[in-house]
Amino acid sequence: MTLLLLVGSLVTISCQRPVLEEKASAKSDVGEKPLVQAPAVKDPPLASALEAITQRGELRVGMQVGYIPFQMYGDRGDLIGLEVDLAEMAARRLNVALRVVRLTWQELIPSLLDGGTDVVMSGMTVTSERNVQALFTIPVIETGRMFLVHASNGDRFKNVEDLDKTGTFVVSTPSGLGELRIRELLPNASYREFPDRKSCIDEVLEQRAHAFIDEEFSVRLACATHPRAFTSRFKSITYEPISWAVRPGDLHLLNWLNNFIRQVHGDGRLDGLKKKWLQDYFLDMRTPARGS
């Protein structure tokens, strides 16, 4: 009898043990410490682009050379422009060499994402599509679309509202604004799209069109190279910030570049470069060379 009672007790205990463990596990689900705690798995550390730049001793900047006045070739074949000057300043501040990687427009962001460059400084405006692929700094320059008119119509068309009238003929390129945006801004004006800027400029020059809408620096260049033919109030009709792009995850480099932009803006150096490249450079085009 005693032996049977002992065996029965052991069976009862063995049947109850899984229930006790299950309750302990259930308690851990509501915040209590689990019976067995596995060590946490750490994510691999992100590579610091800023650290790589300083170790490499070189800042690699992606640029599409030829966008006046941001990056272009000087008379001696050297690289000049507003963003070239800023890139040189940034490299000096980092105490590294500057290497400009010359790319086509279509190659700029892919090369950045593939690690071929550290930052894109190429007159690039921030769009939602580009922002999906890359991070962007605070604006370096704030610009927008503008319009130029024939010099004889300078007093007639002072604001974009003056163009929004029946009988007014406006031209642009596919990259100028696009027909949908033009229709939003100028629902009453007539509009025609041409494949290139030269065709649009010729339309206004021959007074077959009243205005040409395009990016600010294209308008400034046309007015500077044809000062007697064209004029503009240089008023932006859209908002388009120009910023620098870095790879997603390069937050340390992004922070450094943002603070660099704030510094050169705050100490007046950026304003000096704006005057040099956005004003004086175009004004010099209007001045005939000595002896000519």
268: left (phi over 0), alpha (psi -120 to 50) or beta: left
Q: Give the tens place of pLDDT for each residue, 217-227.
A: 999 999 999 99
Task: Please tell me the distance from the alpha carbon of residue 76 to that of residue 60, in angstroms, as a whole number.
Answer: 23
Q: Give the tens place of pLDDT for each residue, 39-61.
A: 444 434 445 899 999 999 999 99
Asked if residue 172 has pLDDT above 80, the reply is yes
67 and 121 in contact (C-beta within 8 Å)?
Answer: no
pLDDT confidence of residue 285? 78
Task: Please tell me the distance from the alpha carbon of residue 175 to that of residue 198, in angstroms, as a whole number.
Answer: 13
pLDDT confidence of residue 31? 45
- Stretch 66-84: mean pLDDT, rounded? 93
Strand, coil or helix: 193: strand
- Stretch 141-158: mean pLDDT, rounded? 95
Q: Give the tens place of pLDDT for each residue, 18-47.
A: 433 333 333 434 444 444 444 444 434 445
What's the pTM? 0.77
Strand, coil or helix: 70: coil
Asked if residue 11 has pLDDT above 70, the reply is no
pLDDT confidence of residue 5? 46
Domains and CATH numbers, the chain: 49-142+240-286 (3.40.190.10), 145-231 (3.40.190.10)
- Stretch 86-114: mean pLDDT, rounded? 97
35 and 28 in contact (C-beta within 8 Å)?
Answer: yes
pLDDT confidence of residue 255? 97
User: What would you report as the CA-atom Rg of the chain, rounded to the nearest whole angstrom?
Assistant: 31
